[in-house]
Structure 1
Amino acid sequence: MKMTRRELAKIGLGLSAATALGRSAFAQAPAFFRIGTGGTAGTYYPVGGLIANAVSNPPQLVLTAQASNGSVANVNSIASGALESGFSQADVAYWAYTGTGLFEGKGKNEDLRLLANLYPESIHLVAAKSANIKSVADLKGKRVSLDEPGSGTLVDARIILAGWGIKEADVKADFLKPNQAAERMRDGGLDAFFFVGGYPTSAITELAATGGGIDIVPLAGPEADAIRKQYSFFAADEIPAGTYKDVGAVKTLAVGAQWITSAKVPDAVVYEVAKGLWSDKTRAALDAGHAKGKLIRKESALAGAGIPIHPGAERFYKEAGLLKG
């Protein structure tokens, strides 16, 4: 059967229209963006849920928050492609990116990218009042828990000891979880312990109220400044007066709880996520939804960044005037 030129032209128009339609349908295909958070009892999980609900813009952009084992698990899942993003302590992200610290000998995860710094996780150096520890230097010869093996806190504690010129052999080191350390201190078996996390934390609150009194030892001065200069993921921080019973304001260091993603996630998707995170709608949800939500501020979105910023997020931060260039 022969076709006239006009009929052929009609078919051609139909095909090109179908191709265009396919293209636009593909352009509108929903982007699914999973967030690895933490355990359901922690802070990452509820904050992740709040952000996912506020930023989702179906059908184009769908965010879901998933419970996980926290920073290290999230970094590994992003590397394997099992997650598009996740929450991580800034130090853990830095070690993964550089193949150091907890990731020593495991290779570098050079595809990790920062989407936003969220809120500070303060380094608490908790001391029994009776131990009379006023500075990190006073830890020499004392019974000190540095947190359990494999924890980010243990690596941070070692950095802090070294910053004040103290070797691990100079202290009677123990390796307990914060809750166990608090119990041991209450029983008189421990002089000090390290804890990294948002304040107030229940184990320290209870200890301050029932355990004969505590001090939070300051991490400040030239030693702290030198540590911050060497490790970009540390930021200056202050635990406000009255956070713990009978403890005044304390200057310390913090690592950011950060939202990280992969260089493999398209720029356009990350741009929309960053834009959604700092929208008025998300601001209202964070302020109303969780105590830590109020601390998630656009002004500190890039504080303590130890890994490169994702180009999609970078575009947003430049438009928002937070980045030059």
Structure 2
Amino acid sequence: MRLLILLLCATLLAACSRGPTPETLQSDLQQRLQQVFPASLLSLDQLQRRGSANDANAPDGEKRLVVYFDATLKVEQDQDFGAWDSPGVASLVTALGAGPRGLSGIQSGGNRAGDLLKVHGSLIYREQQGSWQAVVPQGFTAPRAAQSGEGGNSKRETLVNAISTALNLGPGGTSPQERKAIDDELERALSNIRSRLSRLESGYPLAGGPPAGQYARFAQALTELLKKQGVSVRALNTEGGLDNLRMLRRGEVVAALSQSDAAYAAVHGIGPFQNDGPDLRLRVIANLYPEPVHVLVNAKSELQDIADLRGKRVNIGQPGSASRLTALAVLTAHGLQPKDLAAAAELDLQQALSALRDNQLDALIQVIGAPADSIRAASETVDLRLLPLTEAAISRLQQQHPGSFAFNLPQGTYPQQKDPVATLAVSSMLLTDDQLTVREVENLVRLLFSQDNQWLQYGSIQGAQLSPKNALLDLGVPLHSGAEKALQPEPVPAN
């Protein structure tokens, strides 16, 4: 019995001591934080190791462990972690290997000195010559978004059939012009009826994005957040930003997520909306968060800038996505067209990352809020590097591609990213038209930008980047009067 107890104790000791020591873990965490943030901004107040597990994604022949920990960070000076132009929540979750729900204490509108941030994070270690070395923070793979709203709305067909029957019973002498007028008015009425019924019975229908995409995740977080406030939103899975704008125009939803450049194209009837004509009813509720252009290559690649993509295999994104629209503009600004590439692939981001890892692609271009979960997760198995856009190309894009703006992707946004990367960004926008009343939009905006919102707890890093000061930045699309009432300061009465 005594021997059995001794063996059990030895086994437990071995399990507890497996991997780096607590001192090594603490040193590595402090080093990673200081690579991204000034040393005077954050201090490691408490740290407790929470076990380890073999890394299932370890390369062949390598022994790697995922080491889990709980930590408390103290904010030593005032800091807005949701700011667009400096390291913030994106760099923080990446440095600590945390999912959005693994970080708490971030305050909308900024944190104050003395605030405490709670972290449940993880680092991946590799055993090398008898010691453990930190390799990379663990990535984050979000669960697939809920499938709400897939499959269409049968109520629409019922209403269409009823209206068609009414038209067929109309006066036989109705002229084509009169019938055209009736059709137009009935289509408008049908749209209003469907929207009102949907809001009454199922909540606000919102065009999100592909089920595994970032728009769908943000839409789901928004749904959960507003539900707490008594507002029901029904997030629909769609093909992406361009599809969302067309759904909004057809009256199939009352709100939509899309990129600022795509919204500009829609309201002016240019680019992919040239055949549709200007959408004069389109209105923006607010800018939400930046979506930088990511041009990713293998870190070992010899590619150094966008011009080097000539004759290479490049993923430009899926048809119907707003990201593809921007990717093509980025290539054009650097003197490239799809025909100049060895291949212009049309994969989704997850597929493109896998192809890049397996050497089936040389690069990919993606417009997405940072940090993108798929890119973080892929960084566990392949070293990735971001290519910068040239200053001249960024300047041309800002002039020729309205809705875009120069952007520096802050250091530490992704593993191994030691410096800021010059790129272009667009804004993720929440859009509507005249279906929503001034009161509805005003209420929605106030809830969106409430300082009590805990976006990270609803699974959205991008939600934590919402800020009233950026909500009206370079819109390029008419602002809904309800949003104007909620966001623009009240005029100061004259004395």
Instruction: For 1:1-325, list aligned pairs within 5 A.
Output: 33-52=204-223, 54-55=225-226, 62-69=231-238, 70-177=240-347, 178-211=349-382, 213-248=383-418, 249-281=420-452, 284-286=453-455, 288-289=457-458, 290-319=460-489
Please list the CA deviations of residues 76-115 of structure 1 after superposition, one character each: whole Å capped at 9, or x if unmatched: 2322223221222223322222223332322222211000
Identify the structure with bigger relative contact order (alpha carbons < 8 Å, sequence gap 6+). 1
Partner SS state of residue 426, structure 2: strand
Question: Partners in 2 of 1:73 and 1:167 — Cα distance?
Answer: 24
Partner SS state of residue 488, structure 2: helix
8 Å Cα contact 1:117/1:305 also seen in 2 = yes
Q: CA 1:201–1:77 in structure 2 vs 1: closer, same or farther (change >3 Å)?
A: same
**One-letter code of the match for 2:396?**
A
Question: Partners in 2 of 1:311 and 1:182 — Cα distance?
Answer: 42
TM-score normalized by structure 2?
0.53
Please list the CA deviations of residues 114-143 of structure 1 after superposition, one character each: whole Å capped at 9, or x if unmatched: 001111122110122343222212222322
8 Å Cα contact 1:140/1:166 also seen in 2 = yes
TM-align CA RMSD: 2.8
Q: CA 1:210–1:54 in structure 2 vs 1: closer, same or farther (change >3 Å)?
A: closer
For structure 1, which runs of at least 5 residues remain unmatched after alignment?
A: 1-29
8 Å Cα contact 1:163/1:223 also seen in 2 = yes
User: Which segment drifts farther, 115-124 or 94-103?
Assistant: 94-103
Query: Percent identity, aligned pairs only?
Result: 28
Q: CA 1:279–1:168 in structure 2 vs 1: closer, same or farther (change >3 Å)?
A: same
**One-letter code of the match for 2:241?**
S
Question: Partners in 2 of 1:74 and 1:40 — Cα distance?
Answer: 14
TM-score normalized by structure 1?
0.77
For structure 2, which runs of at least 5 residues remain unmatched after alignment?
A: 1-199
- Bigger helix share: 1
The Cα shift of 1:264 comes to 4.2
How many residues are paired up? Answer: 288
Please list the CA deviations of residues 239-290 of structure 1 after superposition, one character each: whole Å capped at 9, or x if unmatched: 3333333233312212221100103432232222223322334xx2335433
Question: Partners in 2 of 1:187 and 1:320 — Cα distance?
Answer: 56
Please list the CA deviations of residues 194-225 of structure 1 after superposition, one character each: whole Å capped at 9, or x if unmatched: 112122334433443323x3320112513202
8 Å Cα contact 1:118/1:258 also seen in 2 = yes
Question: Partners in 1 of 2:272 and 2:442 — Cα distance?
Answer: 30
Of the two, which has the highest radius of gyration? 2
**One-letter code of the match for 1:257?**
S
Partner SS state of residue 379, structure 2: helix
Q: CA 1:246–1:62 in structure 2 vs 1: closer, same or farther (change >3 Å)?
A: closer
User: Which segment drifts farther, 46-55 or 86-95?
Assistant: 46-55
8 Å Cα contact 1:145/1:176 also seen in 2 = yes
